[in-house]
Every structure is written in C-alpha cells, then in structure tokens.
Amino acid sequence: MTDASSVRRVEVRKDPLSIDAAVALVAHGGAGAIAVFLGTVRDVNEGKAVTQLEYEAYSSMACAEMDRIRLEIESEITDARVAAIHRIGSLAVGEVSVICVASAPHRGDAFRACRLMIDRLKERVPIWKREHGPDGPYWVGWEDARCVREHDHDEDHGSPRDPSSP
C-alpha cells in the first residue's frame, strides 16, 4: 500500500504496463473495492484487420491532463483514489495499452471512478493512435483539416474513409 500524497498516479510510458504496480497506486486500508480497466490492442477495428498499433503523445501535456482528470474524479467521488498509465510506442495485438484503476470503500464508487477515468482520458488526453493493417498504416480519428468530406478527389490523406460517403 502507498501513501497517496507521495506517489504520482498518472503516467505515459514506453515500457510494458504492470497491473500489480497500477493497483498498488490506489490500494489502501480504506479501499473495500478496487476496479481495474485494461485497454488492449485488438486484431480488428471497424471491420479492418489490425496487426499493430502505434501510440504517440505530447507526454507532459498528456500527464497534466490525466492528473486534472484524476483530481476531478477524486473530488466528485468521496474517498475514491484513481490512477491511469498509458503506453506509447509500437504495440502488438494483445498487448495492454492503458490501465485505469480506482479504489473506493464500496464497489459501485470504484467501478464508477474507473469508468470515468477511461472515458475522460479518451475524450481529453492528447494521445494519438496509428493502426497498421494490410492496407497500410493510418491515424485513427484523424482527418486532414485542409479537406472536407465533400471535396471530390481520391486522396484520403492516410485516414480510413467510408466508401459510401461522397
């Protein structure tokens, strides 16, 4: 168990993630429940094969935003303690890309805090994902701001495109 005030509970790193190390960040005597979320690299996304993922981040900004999120959740849910660690670099199918953990006196609050952490992390933290598959690599969720969907040309700028859209 750790002293909450002496340990940084958010991190962006290249090294593989440890569930036990993440759980230790939130474990304490008053924690009657600890919820764990693991995000892993899957082999298919939106019907396309995926062979690997690359994550990139603006690490200092990502950590600062993750810590803001952690503090928000801990102020919203009494006695909750939250941590999140995200990997960057190249990851193979099956590898863990993110761990979010939350402890609380009761399971409902632990589950809720853990869910809020991953949801807000995905919404707000500057971490970008590039998928690799048989059609080559492409950035997920990226669209060239210079072009709009109505722009009529074949260049997809590295982003997957719905063939039914104009």
Confidence of residue 165 (pLDDT cuts 50, 70, 90): very low
3-state secondary structure labels for all residues of 42-59: CCEECCEECCEEEEEECH
Question: Which tens digit of pLDDT belongs to each residue from 13-56?
Answer: 999 999 999 999 999 999 999 999 999 999 999 899 999 999 99
Q: Where are the domains of the chain?
A: 7-134
Q: Please classify residue 58 by burial: count the beta carbons closer than 10 Å to its beta carbon, then call 0-12 exposed, 13-18 middle and 19+ buried.
A: middle
Structure pTM? 0.81
Which CATH number is 7-134's, of 2.60.40.1480, 3.90.1170.40, 3.90.180.10, 3.90.190.20? 3.90.1170.40
CA distances from 127 to 6, 48, 113, 130, 154 (A): 26, 21, 21, 10, 28
The rounded distance, in Å, linking the Cα atoms of 60 and 22 is 19
